[in-house]
Amino acid sequence: MKKKAVILLVGLFALLGAACLSMARVMHGEEYVAAARAQSLYKLDIAQSRGTIYDCGLQPLVGGETEYVAAVAPTIQAIGALEKATGGQYRQQLAVALENGRPFQLVLEQPVDNPLVQVFRVPQRYSQEQLAPHVVGYLDSLDGGAAGIELAMDDVLSQCGGEISVTYRVDAVGRVLAGEEPQVVNTLEESAAGVALTLDSAIQRLAQQAAQKLGKGAVVVTEAPGCKIRAVASVPDFSPLDLSEATQREDAPLVNRAFSAYAPGSVFKVAVAAALLEEGLGELTFTCVGSLNAGGLQFHCVDSTAHGELDLEGALAHSCNCYFINAARVLGGQEILSMAYNLGFGSAQEFGRGLWTAAGELPTLQSLGNARALANWPPRPCRCAPCSTSWPAAASTPPPSCWKALSARPGSCGPCPPPRLSRPRGCSPPPPGRCSKPCAPPPRRAPARPPRRRGPRWASRQVPPKPACWKTARSCCTFGTAASSGRGACPGGASPC
């Protein structure tokens, strides 16, 4: 009996020793300590941002509007201070938050100056009067790029993101511990990096206002002679803040009509004029009587107006249909078809990674043997990558990509520069603290498909994503001037300016 009692006592001591050892491991184990600390913290996410999209003057096209967001620990003192500062405007929300007991955020109309309430100025990605919505694009439900530049440069814009968060120390039921200072993380300044386009905000705003008169159509403005696109407006437009409304409309506002395919109508006369010049027929004259028969079909000028004897310049000035039908007869289908192909008709152009214009169609040479078809060409939609608003028809139909060069340089039929939505680096000094050349550019993704004709680039010039030279050195790159801040150097071997 005594022996059994000793064995039982030894067993009890062994169990007690094992329990003590286990408790010691729990108390001193790093993973358990970390887990305990994590459970006592509450993170309140105030805002998240991504890289900025700029115009040619590095004026932001996104994030122009801001709102005030308060981070509040629901103590009686903090709720009382906020109630008094807002004049009871948010009384119901504050009462619910106080009962819940967890830290919360509240969007304010005006900032509140009180040490118990932390207020942050948070940029809004889009605005009600958003500039260039079809170019900028919009985000999906996961805040990833879904269209436009937001999609084409999603990798760059995503890695340039920042955030605002406030972390509180809480008890077992999630209530904020009194006397503990919250930890604030604010990295929104990193979203100043991003992508720069050739669009000009002032011109874009005027183009969008003028385009509203069209009902449906597009307005495109380019700068001669470099053919840099300064404005792209498509109507009807939409608000990125209300995509559900846009998807339900029958007039398809999400379609970018500036880069869609259309039958260009009278604007195609520029291509015929270019073919005349190419064949040495720039002195061709014709007497317009208001109408012309082609293959048994009568074609008319506007209101059957008889323009009389015209040369090429006069025919362009009066947009004389009869002159250019006769010119098509003189040239033949092969010459006009070749000129149209050389101007980029019938082939898609890449405006950015994964962003293409509509290709449209060109008629066959065999079909142009028909006099009616030749006189009425092009009856089908052709590619309309826009470049110029120099011709009257451009007010209702966006013209093809290289007509700007013909209108800007009469008599010249050499290669014309493609329109583009990026500008050469170094064309003008950037504002202080801005980089014009990526310090550490991300790897370029392959195009979605091989282009038939290389076209304009949307944004090859990138404001550097999360560069060390912005965050610490505050240096910028290129432009070749010695103006380094002396606080560091750009990574990746780039030279500070």
Quote helix, strand, coil % in the chain, to nearest 5: 35, 20, 45
d(CA 492, CA 497): 15
What pLDDT does 312 receive?
Answer: 95
* CA 416 remoteness from chain centre: 26
Q: Is the dihedral of CA 448, 451, 454, 455 positive or negative?
A: negative
Start-end of H helices in 332-449: 333-342, 371-375, 403-408
Which residues have a Cβ under 8 Å from the Cβ of 51 and sit 6 or more positions away?
153, 156, 157, 158, 159, 160, 161, 191, 193, 194, 195, 463, 465
Start-to-end CA distance of the chain, whole Å, equals 93
Q: pTM above the 0.75 mark?
A: no
Residue spans of the chain under pLDDT 50: 32-33, 35, 379-415, 423-460, 464-497
Phi first, then psi: what are they for 222, rounded to 5°?
-125, 160
CB contact set of 427 (below 8 Å; sequence gap of 6+): none
The amino acid occupying position 115 is P
358 contacts 261 by C-beta, under 8 angstroms:
yes
Query: Which DSSP string corresponds to 228-244?
Result: EEEEEEEES---TT-HH
- 8-31 burial, b for 16+ CB within 10 Å, e for fewer? eeeeeeeeeeeeeeeeeeeeeeee
Spatial contact of 347 and 383, defined as CB atoms under 8 Å apart: yes
* pLDDT given at position 356: 77
pLDDT for the residue numbered 382: 44
Confidence (pLDDT) at 243: 92
Dihedral pair phi/psi, residue 314, rounded to 5°: -65, -35
Asked if residue 378 has a cis previous peptide bond (ω within 30° of 0), the answer is yes
Q: How far apart are CA 152 and CA 422, in angstroms?
A: 14
Number of other CB atoms surrounding residue 141 within 10 Å: 7
Amino acid type, 33: V
User: Which residues have CB under 8 Å from 122's CB, separation 6+?
Assistant: 46, 47, 66, 67, 68, 69, 164, 188
Confidence (pLDDT) at 136: 95
